[in-house]
Structure formats: C-alpha cells, structure tokens
Amino acid sequence: MSDFAEEIKKLKSDLDQAKNKRYKYEARMEELKKQRQKLMDKLDKCGVEPEELDDEIEELEDKLQELIAEAKELLPQDILNE
C-alpha cells in the first residue's frame, strides 16, 4: 500500500513542479512578446520593415565607414604628426 502512496505523492510533486514551470514559462513568453512588440514599434517608427533590417544595418554600416573616412581626410595630418 505504501508503494502506491509514494508513487501518488511523487506524481503529485511532479505535477506541481510542472505547473510551476508552466506558469514561469508563460510569464516569460508574455515578457518576450512585449519586448518583441516594442522592437516592432521601434522599427515601424524608423520606417524599417523587419525583413529589411539586415539590409538597413548594412547600409548604415557602409554610411558610417564613409563618414569615418571623410572625417579622417578632413583632419590636418601635418599638425597631428608634429
């Protein structure tokens, strides 16, 4: 009889643990959904579609490289080398 009681006790404990994990993961999922929505809102505000994000990042990196190169050209090298 005690074997059954122990098995039932173990099953109840496992069920409680599974419920707790479920609640934890559901809360985490809600948090991630909110974060995703915030990111989507920011992208929308910037006028960028999610599918275009990689291209937009690449364009911005290229533009940044151009601006850095331009800034280096504008620096008076003769003064800096003194």
CA 18/CA 10 separation, integer angstroms: 12
Question: pLDDT tens digits, residue range 30-44?
Answer: 999 999 999 999 999
Instruction: Give the torsion through C-alpha atoms of 53, 30, 24, 22, to 10 deg.
Output: -100
CB-based contact 50:40 (threshold 8 Å): yes
Show the low-confidence residues of the chain (pLDDT under 50). Answer: none
Q: What angle do CA 78, 71, 74 make, to 5 degrees?
A: 40
pLDDT at 56: 93
Distance of CA 46 to the CA centre of its chain: 18
